[in-house]
Structure 1
Amino acid sequence: MKRKITTIAAVIIALVASVYSANANVKPYKDLNNKEVLFSYVSASILGSDMYNKIMFADDFEYRNTANDDKHDKKSYLKYLKSLKDNKFDCEQTIEILDQTGNTTIGKVTMEFPTFKRVDYVTLVQSEEGWKIKNVTTTYPL
């Protein structure tokens, strides 16, 4: 399962990169669906990819970690993701769409590491520029 999701995420990123690298003014996320944007999020947070991170997140993005009540805005979260570049975490991940109503989607990304589990609840909103990640809330269930 881990390899399937990793392969799918890599294919999506390669597709986005190859299709849109010719024109820098094109909005690469405009034509992606909400699940493809979630795959890109997984690629950034687990596989260390930094491609298109700046445009994946909404300008008013907020990250929240419930374990220590940390909160971060887009700028500081992008800095964190940049620090993960080329790191690959050893975990199995699953991606689910929990709800989609109109231009809002709630997704769930579960990452099972050998000693703990991390669950990210991701809120996406659809704008003129395509689906953007507006909010990520991280939990660590027992």
Structure 2
Amino acid sequence: MKTLKLIISGIALLIVCNTAKADIYEDGENLTRTYAINTYVDAVTRGKLQGLNDVVDQNAKFSLLSGKKILSYTRDQVFESLRLIKNIEEDCTTSTSIMESNNDIAVVKVDMQFDKFVRSNYVTIANTGKGWKITNVYSVFKQL
């Protein structure tokens, strides 16, 4: 009987948690600029991918300046590479600064400082009507 109560309690808790999570992003009401940037930073610096799918637009573009060559990646390619480093924390110091912001769009610079270089990510987020979503990320590396 005690085991049955424990199982029923566990199932009820699971249902409540899943229902609460489903309501959080209904119509993008809680997909704020801050949430989008924090989710992106958690993914690229700490390997925490939870919520990333919600904040990256389906048509997002990812570019990387490598020397004098620009490399472009799709959303799926970036997600696949992030899955490879899931739950791995980068050994860097991260800072963010708002470059431009209004009611419709914002550009946020995310600097990841490693021992010998800095990776600067210029992240564009837009108010899509379904919450704030990342639409473009442009990464540049600078040797120290």
- Indicate the TM-score class for this superposition, using the shorter chain for normalisation: 0.7 to 0.9
Stretches of structure 2 that go unaligned for 5 or more consecutive residues are 1-15
CA distance in 2, matches of 1:86, 1:60: 25
Partner of 1:98: 99
Deviation at residue 36 of structure 1 after TM alignment:
2.6
Partner of 2:41: 42
Contact 1:121/1:136 (8 A) holds in 2: yes
CA distance in 2, matches of 1:20, 1:58: 25
Stretches of structure 1 that go unaligned for 5 or more consecutive residues are 1-18
Deviation at residue 48 of structure 1 after TM alignment:
0.4
Rg comparison, structure with higher value: 2
Q: Does 1:57 align with 2:68?
A: no
1:20 to 1:80, Cα distance in 2 relative to 1, 3 A: farther
Q: Taking every aligned residue pair, what percent have the same amino acid on both sides?
A: 21
What letter corresponds to residue 22 of structure 1 in structure 2? T
Partner of 1:112: 113
Deviation at residue 20 of structure 1 after TM alignment:
7.0
Deviations 1:16-61 (CA, angstroms, capped at 9, x unpaired): xxx9743454327531431231111010001000102211101110
What letter corresponds to residue 34 of structure 2 in structure 1? K
CA distance in 1, matches of 2:29, 2:86: 24
1:30 to 1:80, Cα distance in 2 relative to 1, 3 A: farther
CA distance in 2, matches of 1:20, 1:70: 40
Which consecutive aligned stretches of 4+ in structure 1 deviate over 2 angstroms post-superposition?
19-26
CA distance in 2, matches of 1:107, 1:84: 23
* Alignment: residue pair count: 124
Deviations 1:65-90 (CA, angstroms, capped at 9, x unpaired): 01142111111111111111011001
Deviations 1:92-116 (CA, angstroms, capped at 9, x unpaired): 0101111112310000000100111
Q: Secondary structure at the match of 1:78?
A: helix
